[in-house]
Amino acid sequence: MSAQLKLVTPSNENRQVAPTRKPNAELRQREYLTEAEVERLLKAAKAGRHGHRDATLILIAFRHGLRAAEIAALEWSQVEFSRNPVLHVTRVKNGTPSVHPVQGDELRALRQLHRKARTPFVFETERATGFTPDAVNRQIKTIGERAQLPFPTHCHMLRHSCGYALANKGHDTRALQAWLGHRSIQHTVRYTELSPTRFRSFWK
């Protein structure tokens, strides 16, 4: 060993890195909103500075079970303003695409938004650009706080809310799978498993 080299005692110590975010189960008791809570969210959105845009975003995300990235990427070319209006849904995460009918209240909201469109994106910012998925999540969180919901909200809760709402209406698991674009039905069964309609005939 060279005379100029000497052993140095390492000064680093092993530490356990604290988690930067609590698990969802600690932040809220459930990962979906009831239809009444979605209505509260819509009402709070309408009272904001960009009320119509934000309320339309929540309505479309809820009805069609869209993820934040799918909302951010949604373009007017995916909306068919025809006698039988439809939404061409493109899924992320290798989800299966589908074509959804558009309800009357959705159609009216989208048409009003379309008249002021400056970009190809359905939901655009003040600077005439599309949203990022993070910006969509921040928007939903802020609106949830204004709605005074008893737990923090995020965009994916609207997707789960869609699944549970449709399961509660009695739609079968295969139909839900197609609507939400799940590749595997295992991702869909959570909604029918927690649906109270499956126990409707109990104790009769």
Active site residues: 67, 93, 156, 159, 182, 191
The DSSP element (H or E) to which 79 belongs, if any, is strand 79-80
The tally of CA atoms less than 13 A away on the side-chain side of residue 178 is: 7
Helix intervals (H) in the chain: 24-27, 35-46, 51-64, 68-73, 104-114, 133-146, 156-168, 173-180, 189-193
Residues in contact with 54: Cβ distance below 8 Å, sequence separation at least 6, in sequence order? 45, 46, 48, 139, 143
Yes or no: say if 152 and 28 are a contact pair by the CB < 8 Å rule: yes
Q: Are 92 and 100 in contact (CB under 8 A)?
A: no
